[in-house]
Amino acid sequence: MDKIVIYHKPTCSKSRAGVKFLEEKGVDFEIVKYYEKPFTKNKLKTLLKKMNMHPVDLLRRREKAYKELDFKNKKYTKEQIIEFMVNDPNLIERPIVERGEKAVLGRPTENIAEII
């Protein structure tokens, strides 16, 4: 069986809720604190593919950096958006939970049930 991995930011309430959800379900999982071990471009692309999401769908729209980069008015390429997210992990919605060939965004937390 494929290992479950949660990409986690301990200071984020939604991310903590994701960890708690997995603990309550009694499943084995690994925590990757992606602020300490940042995403690579390739890893982020792989996760996006597994979630069937476009990079723009994974952006945290309330983040200061989102507003500063003026995503509403500027047209960035997928590559540019991924580059922004790799360079500033605050732009990435969280938590992301991965298992084998599938991944989900744990917002809402119940989404995690899809892969456990």
> pLDDT digits over 7-23, tens only?
999 999 999 999 999 99
In this structure, are strands 102-105 and 96-99 parallel, antiparallel, or unpaired? antiparallel
Number of domains into which the chain is organized: 1
Q: What CATH number does residue 88 fall under?
A: 3.40.30.10
Q: Which of 5, 12, 53, 65 is catalytic?
A: 12
Stretches where the chain sits below pLDDT 70 are none
Domain range holding 21? 4-115
Question: Closest Cα partner for 59 from 78, 36, 31, 73?
Answer: 78
98 near 47, Cβ under 8 Å?
Answer: yes
Residue 74, pLDDT score = 86
* 12 given a catalytic annotation: yes
Burial of residue 99 (number of CB atoms within 10 Å: 0-12, 13-18, 19+): buried
**Cα dihedral across residues 105, 15, 58, 96: positive or negative:** negative
- What is the pLDDT, as a whole number, of residue 72? 83
How far apart CA 102 and CA 76 sit, in angstroms, is 26
